[in-house]
Structures are given as C-alpha cells and as structure tokens.
Amino acid sequence: MTNLPSIIQGGMGVGVSNWQLASAVARRGQLGVVSGTAISHVVANRLFEGDPAGHIRAALAEFPFQDTARRMLSRWFREGGPKTGEQLPSHPIYSIAPPRFLDQITAMSNFVEVHLARRGHSGQVGLNLLEKIQLPTLASLYGAMLAGVDWVLMGAGIPTQVAGILDRLSRHEAVSYRLDVKGEPAGPRSEATTISFDPERIFPGIAARMGPLKRPRFVPIVSSVVLASALIKRSEGEIDGFIVELPVAGGHNAPPRGKMTLTNAGEPIYGPKDEVALDGMAALGKPFWLAGGYGRMGALAAAQASGAAGIQVGTAFALCHESGVREELRMKLLERVARGEADMKTSPVASPTGFPFKVAQMEGTMSEAGVYDARPRLCDVGMLRTLVRNDDGTVVYRCPAEPVEDYVAKGGRAEDTEGRRCLCNNLLSTAGVVKVQKGGYAEAPIVTIGDDFPLIGQFQSGEQLSYSAGDVLRVLLA
Ligand SMILES: Cc1cc2nc3c(=O)[nH]c(=O)nc-3n(C[C@H](O)[C@H](O)[C@H](O)COP(=O)(O)O)c2cc1C
C-alpha cells in the first residue's frame, strides 16, 4: 500500500481534533484526523457564535445541497453572535428512526469539518468515529465522504460493518447498520434492529449530481492481535490497516483482560495479558500504527523497528494551540505541566460506556467531586445512550448518567449510575459548547488526556507555554 503516513494525529472527540488541527498536521505531510463525534453540536455552536472568520459558512457554501445548508444556517447562525442571554437553539437527538433534518445536519457537519481540514493543501485527512456511538455513524460517514475524506479510523468496539458500508456509500447506495441492543439475542442478522440511511432520500438526486465517491481507507483501532484477526475474518469489506492502542493512551481505553481489579486509588490494573504481541500484528499482513505513549522523540523509530508503519499520537496534539480545547482550559493545563502538577487518573466509572476513561485532574472540571455533585442530571444530547429491548418488545434508550429515577424506570440498576459523568455535555463544554441549562446551570468541562500529560514540556520552547502542531511533529520526527 502506498502513501502511508508515519505519524497519525489521533482523532479526539468532542471537537478536540478539529479541522484546524487536522489541517496543520496534513499540510505537513502526516495524517490529520478530525473527530466526527457530536460534531453537529460543535458546528451548530460555531454558527451560533457568529462564525467570525466565516469558515463554516464558506464550507457550507460548497455543500451540494444549498437548501439544506440554508436550513442549518437559519436555525443556528447569528450574525455577530447571540444576543445577551440567548441560548443555543436545541438540537434533535438520534433514535433508530431519526428525523431527516438530523441526518442532514450530521452529514453536513462532517462534510464541513473534513472539507475545511482538506482545504489548501494536498495532504491526507481522516475521520474518527466510535463504534460505541452507532446511531449517527451512517450519516457521518456519508458526509465525510462527500468532502473526499481519505481515511476512516474507528475505535471503541468491533466495527465489522463499516468497511462494507464505505464500499456501498461510495456508490450512494442505501445502507443499514445492525445495532447493539441489550436484551436482544444475537439472532439471525435479518432480525437485527437496524438504522438505515438512504442518500437519495436524505439528499434527492445526489448520486447523479456527484458521481461515484472515493472509498476511504478503513483502519479500526484495536487493543489485541486476537481482535485484529477477528476483524479481518468478520469484516464485511476490506480493512486497510490497524491502530494498536495501549491503555496509557488518552480518551477511552480497552478494559483490562479478565476480571477488572483496581489499585488502591481506584484505577484499573493492566498486566501481561494486555500486552500486544507485535510480531503477531505484523503476521496479519496489514500496516499498523502504535498508539498510547508514543508522543516523544525516538518513539517513531522504535515503533518502526518493531514492524509498525508508524505511530498515532493524541495527548501531545490535544494541548497544542490548534486543538479545539477551550483556550483558558488549555492554558491552565499547560500551567499545571510547567509547575510539575500534571496529573490524570483512569476512571473505571466516569464514562457511561463502561470503558475506562482517562481524566485530567483539574480544578473547576468534572474531575472534582464537588463539580460533579453540583450538576443536575439530565440527558439532552444522548450520544451515549444504549438501546435496551424491554420484555414487552419496545426499545428504550438509556444512559447511566441520566437522572437516576429515569434510568431505573427503564430497567437499569441504580448502582450503575454512580460516578457517571455526562460525557456528552462535559466534553462539549471542553470544546467551547458551554450549554446553560434551565435553571441557569452552565455545563462544566471534563478533560481527557493520556499518561504522557506530564511530558508536554518537550514541545515548549523557552518561557513559552503554548506550542503548535508543527512543534509536536518536529520533535516526533527528530
Ligand atoms: C483529548 C483526547 C480525546 C480522544 N478522543 C478519542 C476519540 O474520540 N476517538 C478515538 O478513537 N480516540 C480518541 N483518543 C485517543 C487518540 O486518538 C490516540 O489514540 C491516543 O491519544 C494516543 O495515545 P497518547 O494519548 O498517549 O498519544 C483521544 C485522546 C485524547 C488525548
């Protein structure tokens, strides 16, 4: 396979690996990756804040369906920003039968992010999505493909369906996605609960207008050779490589193999069973990149010496000035590093997904018990809701971070709600979408960061706290 990057800037949701970051990396010849997770909320908010530099409107003006672009603008765009006290207009929530407008804004927002990341250079751009968040996947992939996305990278689960879907979407065919539904036996495929996406229904006449689309390369993110080889066997289309992610990486981590045991501080313990046999990866015959703790000088050469095509790095890029982390938060985190106080913990409960999740310990964020306790529980974004089939056959949507009584009424166990953060609203807040809820509560941020957090100093020069994506690449390639 040709044209393989040696460095992949990891996809970081929500809105952390935005188009500015991906563009900065891609124009320097490495793979820049935008996150498609909840991106329609981020794009809506950028419009609401007046889109000062006009980038979003410029990208929307390139979208092949101008009437839908205009509908998005008329709902969220505010010339010069919102009026005092005006709240971000509500955003529809996904279900298995989403309104057409939701699929449209999801596709358009992914289009916007990829289009802007690809503009003005000939480098390559990828889209990152999570297998755990299934409902928006089809619209997200299609929107990114309309903008010519070069790669799709997918973590947090076993994405057997995506490669085949990319093949079909490149021909504008109607597709459907089999959903994980708790309480539903893993019966025949024909009986699975699905969500569907028909490009011709969402954007009538699009196939004729656009012609065939480029089929992006597909790279799942795995934590073991067993998983990688299972994916090769079960994937419904061609897999083009793997990212092998170790548990020191920022974001969500694969749980430890076997029964989860915790340190005294309450963090999951990983052991020899969680190590990845790199010769086993190489034997699969696909290019692979190593992720988790590779954001340092010399790590690229070491990875390549062990058979990898290169590395994927997140933490180092998460705090560079192009990232989508709110500026004042980013600077506070960098100050912490400079004072030698960079600290993060792997929480086994913070994420509603049940996956371990790395959380930077920082005042004013959801890492603090007081900030967590002060949040009135509510669920109005719904990205992490799981589908549950009730005894009476109906499907309910539930999230252990929603109000406890709602969760229990839907058959959930109260103890499963303890300590769960509303990652939807908290991560949106980190990316600058600070929603003020009824009653005046402003959503607080949560910052996820990997074990390399204390090493950020290697990218700074002199007294300057801030650094750029270019600084990171210079160190990694040195
Ligand atoms: C702020 C942040 C957000 C992340 N979000 C995602 C995500 O949405 N999807 C994903 O596949 N990986 C995510 N990751 C993991 C990165 O893509 C990457 O694999 C990882 O950061 C590499 O390890 P490192 O942090 O040691 O460099 C995230 C990492 C960080 C630091």
Read off the tokens for 457.
């100093």
Enumerate the β-bridge partners of residue 245: 291
Question: Is 135 a member of any domain?
Answer: yes
> Is pLDDT of 186 > 70?
no
Is 445 near ligand 1, meaning CB less than 6 Å away?
no
In this structure, is residue 431 part of a structural domain? no
Residue 281 in domain: yes
pLDDT tops 90 at residue 371:
yes
User: Residues 47-79: pLDDT tens digits?
Assistant: 999 999 999 999 999 999 999 999 999 999 999
Domain range for residue 314?
7-324+457-477
**Ligand 1, pocket-test mutation among 9, 12, 243, most atoms within 8 A of CB:** 12
Residue 394: pLDDT above 90? Answer: no
CA distance 144 to 112: 8
Count of structural domains within the chain: 1
- Domain contains 182: yes
Query: CA 327, CA 35: separation in Å to the nearest integer?
Result: 19
Q: Has residue 437 been placed in a domain?
A: no
How much is the average pLDDT of 33-42? 98
Q: What's the CATH number where 12 sits?
A: 3.20.20
Q: Are 395 and 387 in contact (CB under 8 A)?
A: yes
Per-residue pLDDT at 156: 77
Q: Which of 137, 294, 315 to mutate to test the pocket of ligand 1 (most atoms within 8 A of CB)?
A: 315
Residue 375 in any domain: the answer is: no
**pLDDT tens for residues 302-358?**
999 999 999 999 999 999 999 999 999 999 999 999 999 999 999 999 999 999 999
Q: Is the confidence at residue 406, as pLDDT, over 70?
A: yes
- Nearest residue to 128 via CA among 25, 252, 35, 21: 35
Residue nearest to atom 17 of ligand 1 (CA): 10
Q: Which helix (H) or strand (E) holds 71?
A: helix 66-76
**Pocket of ligand 1 contains residue 16 by CB under 6 Å:** yes
Q: Are residues 133 and 173 in contact, defined by beta-carbon separation less than 8 angstroms?
A: no
DSSP secondary structure letters along 302-354? HHHHTT-SEEEE-HHHHTSTTSSS-HHHHHHHHHHHHTT---EEEESSSSTTS
Contact (Cβ atoms closer than 8 angstroms) between residue 418 and residue 352: no
Q: Is there an atom of ligand 1 within 6 Å of 282 CB? A: no
